Amino acid sequence: MPKTILIGAPIDSGQQRPGCLMGPAAYRVAGLAREIAAEGHGVEDWGDLTLPPLREVACPNPAVHSLAETVAWTEILMDRVDDALSGGGFPIVMGGDHSLALGSAAGAAAFAHRQDRPLFLLWLDAHSDFHTPLTTTSGNLHGTPLAYINGRDGFDALPPFPTPVPAHRICMFGIRSVDPAEQAAMQERDIQVNDMRVIDERGLVAPLREFLDAVRREGGMLHVSLDVDFLDPSIAPAVGTTVPGGATFREAHLVMELLHESGLVTSLDLVELNPFLDDRGMTARLMVDLVGSLMGKKVFDRPTRAK
């Protein structure tokens, strides 16, 4: 396993409830680096990114807010994630709201493009985030990254996405909140959505294995974007956009364990943690524990410890 590079992305501008900018600090307090090191991996913390100077940008949809900030964050994240991958590292972007995936995925795509390898996307989220700046009604750009990644029009203010990821290389799990415009666009573009109903009926294992087999077959890179609201709010309350009926503790760990066994993941986002809404750090700690599973921690590595 390559050395993990932690990149702090204290980003709040993709939505309107303050707090996600405290995410990177919460992950450090919850011991993310320690958890990774405990599984025998090297880890380096590059600290938090700072917002570069803003350029004037325009968008015909008056609902959209913070576009200039989002463009600036996207450009710097794209570069840093590409740098981490180019140096042979495994970047983990500690968010920050989900708008950061505009930049992290673009960085992964730029690197994959130069390597002449296809990029695959695993999207673990309650939401499909398939709006464009032209279709969003909330104006919150954290609802748009997957559309950018898939190459939809309407992102003129952002750098062109390097080699957009086609539908068959995108896999979504946990979906249970989709706006009508997103649904229409996903249908039109043939995006497969493993919504919660699919997990209820089939479980996660079969559809995830099918996807991972495709990544392996095509020699792909795999970017994973883990939104806190993928998880059920009862175990992960620290998120601004809670939706009931999310993934359970074991379902989420199972995903991470299967990903570890596959050895295919090449970059990861941790998004939407709002520590201000947390209950004694339980969400931050669960997210750190999930990264532990991705790094190789097993069920039997979790003994009950006397205090």
Among 227, 232, 251, 278, binds Mn ion (CB under 5 A): 227
Give the active site residue among 232, 251, 272, 289: 272
Give the active site residue among 69, 182, 229, 269: 229
Contact between 272 and ligand ARG by CB under 6 A: the answer reads yes
* Residue 192 near which of ligand ARG, Mn ion, none (CB within 5-8 Å, type-dependent): none
* Residue 140 near which of ligand ARG, Mn ion, none (CB within 5-8 Å, type-dependent): ligand ARG
Residue 44 known to be catalytic = no
Identify which of residues 257 and 272 has a Cβ nearer to ligand ARG in the complex: 272
127-135, 165-173, 191-199, 256-264 -> range binding ligand ARG (CB under 6 A): 127-135
Among 39, 82, 129, 278, binds Mn ion (CB under 5 A): 129
Residues 6+ apart with CB under 8 A from 206: none
Give the active site residue among 65, 82, 127, 182: 127
Alpha carbon distance 173, 180 (integer Å) = 18
Residue 142 known to be catalytic = yes
Strands in 170-175's sheet, in edge-to-edge order, are 43-48, 4-9, 90-95, 265-271, 221-227, 119-124, 170-175, 193-195
94-102, 166-174, 203-211, 250-258 -> range binding Mn ion (CB under 5 A): 94-102
Among 229, 232, 257, 269, binds ligand ARG (CB under 6 A): 229
Using alpha carbons, select from 106, 46, 108, 26 the residue that is nearest to residue 70.
106
Question: Which residue minimizes CB distance to ligand ARG?
Answer: 143
Alpha carbon distance 68, 203 (integer Å) = 41
Beta strands in 31-104 (DSSP E): 43-48, 90-95
Contact between 127 and ligand ARG by CB under 6 A: the answer reads yes
Give the active site residue among 39, 75, 97, 129: 129
Cβ 129 to ligand ARG shortest distance, Å: 5
Residues 6+ apart with CB under 8 A from 205: 254, 258
Q: Helices then strands (H, E): number in the chain?
A: 10, 8
Residue 45 known to be catalytic = no
Cβ 95 to ligand ARG shortest distance, Å: 10
Q: Are 103 and 74 in contact (CB under 8 A)?
A: yes
* Residue 136 near which of Mn ion, ligand ARG, none (CB within 5-8 Å, type-dependent): ligand ARG
Alpha carbon distance 135, 186 (integer Å) = 13
Residue 179 known to be catalytic = no
Cβ 218 to ligand ARG shortest distance, Å: 27
B/e letters for 79-101, b = 16+ CB within 10 Å, e = fewer, are: bbbbbbbeeebbbbbbbbbbbbb
Catalytic residues: 98, 125, 127, 129, 142, 227, 229, 272
